[in-house]
Amino acid sequence: MSKFLRFSSLTKKFIMAFAGAFLMVFMVVHLGINLFIIPITDNHQDIFREAVYFMINNPLVKIMEIFLFGGFILHIILGLILQIQNWMARPVRYKKEGWSHTSVFSKFMIHTGIVIGIFLVIHMANFYFVKLGITSPPEGIARVVDDHDFYSMAYNLFSNNTYSIIYIVLFVFLGFHLNHAFQSAFQSFGLDHSKYTPFLKAFGDLYSILIPLGFSMIPLYFLIY
């Protein structure tokens, strides 16, 4: 922790941006698998279970899993450190009119980040910790065959309307977080340029909408059908 504190703010931002970019790529893969929870194809259950089996048993994926958790932890720790340092650097809040120079999304990054962190703990308790035998699988209509039967676990969770609604709300928060995070990451990489910044901003806006919308399609399906 002391090494993190000695890093310059630019270095911390670069490392946090790199970890965040890795997580954003992971979310695309995760969404691609999760969409097969709903009947987008006739054999969607088989495809989902085969994808889960591959992710669980592939050695390369297990190695990437270590980097994934490392990325989460690093992103969270550095985000908190940078926010605390910002607060300490300006103990007196800016006047209300000064806030207009900062985007709405950037003002509440720490708040949306905390909400996402809470969701992540709940999500892991419902799935990943079950695989490790730490928590019990979610109970419901579907019978969970084993600790890797993620389809039945997801079915039980999304069959609960309250869980599905909370899930959608949390992904709205994620969308706000991603909108600023995407732009900020490329600025930290030194890619803020008049030629391609408009494209990156447009792509970031699209990403921050499509990813939460894609994940929200799953609970919406269960709520409607």
pLDDT per residue over 145-178, tens digit each?
A: 998 899 999 999 999 999 999 999 999 999 988 8
pLDDT per residue over 192-221, tens digit each?
A: 667 778 888 889 899 999 999 999 999 999
Asked if 49 contacts 142 with a C-beta cutoff of 8 angstroms, the reply is no
Identify the pLDDT of residue 101: 41
Catalogue all structural domains in the chain, each as residue range(s) with its CATH number.
Answer: 8-91+104-224 (1.20.1300.10)
Q: Which of 3-12, 36-45, 95-104 has the highest mean pLDDT?
A: 36-45
pLDDT per residue over 46-63, tens digit each?
A: 999 999 999 888 898 888
* Mean pLDDT on 185-198: 74
> Binning pLDDT at 50, 70 and 90, where does residue 39 land?
very high
